[in-house]
Amino acid sequence: MSMARYRGRHLRARPKKRTPVVVGTATALWFAGPARAATYEVRRGETLSSIAARFGSTVAALAAANNLRDPNLIIAGQRLRVPARVRVSSTHMVAPGETLSSIAARYGTAVKALARMNHIKDVNFIVAGSSLRVPALSGAAPTAGPRAPQAVPAANVEASLERHARSHGVEVALAKAVAWQESGWQQDVVSSAGAVGVMQVMPDTADFVNTSLGGGGLDLSAADDNVRLGVMYLRHMGDQMPTLKRALAAYFTGPGNVGAELTAEQQHYAANVISLMPRFR
């Protein structure tokens, strides 16, 4: 059976924002000084997300500063205006079992932005009980989108991960590790790029899985459907890619963004997931 070619998980992000759920002591939202903007030339293989992380900004802020209708379409050699660096909007108290990635997903920011703001050299090492400063999000009001995902108990998420992983021939520990890396097993998380839920599924990814991989009418806003969508897509990436690391990189950035050599961001993501797998065996 011929399979429709799908170029990337983040082809068309919905411009949906999610106001951070502040855990800890909230502080004021502010930006660094006057609205001075630098310029940056896009390099091959870069995404708006990686550029935002490099400058401690957000995808939404960069897209707004450059009038980008599709924040997932940037071209090597293109020059972007980079707004003044975003500063802290809140603080988060690290809970046992949390990762920097799951905290970044909760607040719709990037791991690199959190690491830079908190002077973290090893993004795989954070201490429960420590306080992290969280970069501010854009102040734009959220726009209408699909129904908001609702929180579900972790036990329900784990049961869904186990059931769908076994059903689709994906190692259970791998599915659980990806879900933990993406969201910390939280369904009520929407990233600044528009990725939803436990598996951080983009709306276009959901459409692709539903129409080309036999998902049917799975709803990314429903926890069990979200897990199934993510697991089906993860299995598809495993079928398309020659190694686990490349499959994970493809899940993270879309297969069309996986080149001959993985980017540092892709390598980091794959390494994080693989390091989490023993926890779930």
Active-site positions read 182
- CA 44 to chain centroid: 21
Contact between residue 149 and residue 21 where contact means Cβ atoms under 8 Å apart: no
Q: How far is CA 103 from CA 20, 106, 149, 190, in A?
A: 10, 5, 17, 12
Contact between residue 135 and residue 86 where contact means Cβ atoms under 8 Å apart: yes
Q: How far is CA 212 from CA 22, 31, 185, in A?
A: 38, 43, 26
Write the DSSP assignment of 72-102 as a string of letters.
T---TT-EEEEPSPB-EEEEEEPPTT--HHH
**In the beta sheet, which residues pair with residue 92?**
132
Contact between residue 52 and residue 192 where contact means Cβ atoms under 8 Å apart: no
115: closest CA among 280, 264, 279, 274? 264
> The tokens of 19 are what?
């106001």
CB atoms closer than 10 angstroms to residue 77:
9
**What's the chain's length in residues?**
281
DSSP-derived letter for residue 187 is S
